[in-house]
Amino acid sequence: MTPEVLTLSETPWLFTAAMLIKVIVAFVVTLLIVAYATYAERKIIGRMQTRLGPTMTGPMGLLQPIADGLKLFFKEDIIPSQAHWFAFIIAPIMILAPAFLSIVVIPFGADFQFTYDGTLYAVPLQITDLNIGVLFILAMAGLGVYGIVLAGLASNSKYSLLGGIRSTAQMISYELAAGLSIVAIFMLSETLSMRGIVAAQQGPLWGLESLSFLPNWFIFSQPLAFLLFIVGSMAEINRTPFDLPEAETELVSGFCTEYSAMKYALFFMAEYANMITVSAIAATLFFGGWAGPFYGWINFLLKVFAFMFFFIWIRATFPRLRYDQLMFLGWKVMLPAALVNIVITGIAILLW
C-alpha cells in the first residue's frame, strides 16, 4: 500500500523551515554562480581569443572573483557633487533586486520527499508556485529598466543620461517582442504557472507514441518563439551584441559611468543574475525544466550552464549593433514575427 504523501502546508513549522532553507539555498547558489560566471566568461572568451584569462590568483585563477569582490568592497566610494545622492544610491539596488526576485517562481527540480515522525512529506523544489508565475517574471524584468534610467538621470552626466535613454527604448522594444514570443507557450500549456508549463512538457513528442524517443519539449513545436525569446532576452539584459546602453566606445561606460566601488559591482552582479534568470526561464519554457537523464536539479543546472555558455560565446563572436539596426530588428522584424507566430499557433491548435 502506497503511503499518503502530505504537503508541508499541513505542518506550519515544517513549512516555514523548508521555505527558509529554500530561500537561503537559492540565494547562496545564485550568488556563487554570479561570482564564478565572471571567471568563466573571462576564461572562455580568453580561450576563444587565444589568450589565457585569469591565472595568477589561486590555482588556475579560481580565486579571481573573490579578489575582485574584495578589491571593489574596499575601494573608495565616490558620489559626484552634482549627483542626486538618494537616487544615485538606490539605482543599483533597483536593478539587482528584481533579478533575484524573478528566481522565486522558477522550479529547479521535482518534489523532494522525506519522512518525518512516520509521515511522508513532499517538498516542491521551488520557492513559490504562483499561478501567474510567468507574468511575475515579466513584471520583474520591466522593473529593472527603472534602475538603469534612474542611474543615468541621478548621475547628472551626459554620457550616463544617454545610456539611460538608450536603455529605456531598447528594453521597451525587446521586452514587448520577448513577452509576445512566449504567448504561444501559454496557448499550448494552458497555464501561466512555471511548474504547470514543465508538467505540460512531459510525455512523448506531440503526444505520439511513435515519437516516444523524443521529449515533448516546446523547443520542437515553437522554434521561432524560442529564437525570438533568446534574442529579445539578450537585448533586455544588455548582453552583447545589444549592450548599447553601456557602449564604451561611444558613452565611456554608459549609465554607470559615474559609479565606483561596490555600487559599480552591483550593476554587473545584476547583469549576471539576469543572465542566470533568462537561462533558467528558457530551460523551463522550452527544454522541459528539470526533465532529463540525471536527477532533477542536476538536469536543470546543466541546461542553465549551457545557455550561459551560449551567451558568452555570442559575446566573443558578434560585434555590437548600431542603434538604428537595434531598433529596426526589434520593431520591424521581431515584433511582427512574434505576432505571426501567435496566429499560426492558434490555427494549429484549432486544426490539431
**What is the 3-state secondary structure of 328-346?**
HHHHHHHHHHHHHHHHHHH
Q: From CA 4, how far away is CA 120, in angstroms rounded?
A: 7
SS3 123: strand
Helices 261-286 and 223-236: crossing angle, nearest 10°?
Answer: 170
pLDDT in tens, 210-222: 566 677 889 988 9
**Between 215 and 288, whose confidence is greater?**
288
Q: From CA 188, how far away is CA 229, in angstroms rounded?
A: 16
Q: From CA 198, how far away is CA 215, in angstroms rounded?
A: 12
Whether the predicted pLDDT of 115 surpasses 60? yes
Residue 7 pLDDT grade (very low, low, confident, very high; cuts 50, 70, 90): low
Give the DSSP H or E segment for 120.
Answer: strand 119-123
pLDDT in tens, 38-65: 899 999 999 888 888 888 888 888 888 8
303: which residues sit within 8 A by CB, 6+ positions away?
A: 279, 283, 287, 292
Instruction: State residue 213's pLDDT score.
Output: 63
What does 125-171 look like in DSSP terms, one character per residue? SSS---TTHHHHHHHHHHHHHHHHHHHHHHTT-HHHHHHHHHHHHHH
**Between 78 and 42, whose confidence is greater?**
42
Whether the predicted pLDDT of 251 surpasses 80? no
- Is 302:295 a contact under the CB 8 Å cutoff? no
**Mean pLDDT, rounded, for 165-191:** 85
* Parallel, antiparallel or unpaired: strands 5-7 and 112-116: unpaired
The grid coordinates of residue 57 equal 590568483
Residue 248 pLDDT grade (very low, low, confident, very high; cuts 50, 70, 90): low
Among residues 307, 299, 318, the alpha carbon closest in space to that of 229 is found at 307
Give the DSSP H or E segment for 122.
Answer: strand 119-123
Instruction: State residue 207's pLDDT score.
Output: 63
Whether the full predicted model's pTM is greater than 0.75, yes or no, is yes
Domain range annotation of the chain: 5-37+80-351
The grid coordinates of residue 7 equal 504537503
Instruction: State residue 306's pLDDT score.
Output: 94
Q: From CA 221, how far away is CA 179, in angstroms rounded?
A: 18
Whether the predicted pLDDT of 279 surpasses 80? yes
The grid coordinates of residue 96 equal 539587482
Q: Which residue matches cell numbers 559615474?
A: 258
Instruction: State residue 9's pLDDT score.
Output: 60
pLDDT, mean over the chain? 83
Residue 282 pLDDT grade (very low, low, confident, very high; cuts 50, 70, 90): very high
**Cα(first)–Cα(last) distance of the chain, in Å?**
40
Q: From CA 48, how far away is CA 316, in angstroms rounded?
A: 7
Instruction: State residue 339's pLDDT score.
Output: 94
Percent of the chain's residues with pLDDT above 70: 91
State how far Cα 62 lies from the chain centre.
24
Query: How many other C-beta atoms are found inside a 10 Å radius of the C-beta of residue 252?
Result: 17
**Mean pLDDT, rounded, for 82-98:** 84
Residue 1 pLDDT grade (very low, low, confident, very high; cuts 50, 70, 90): very low
**Mean pLDDT, rounded, for 150-167:** 78
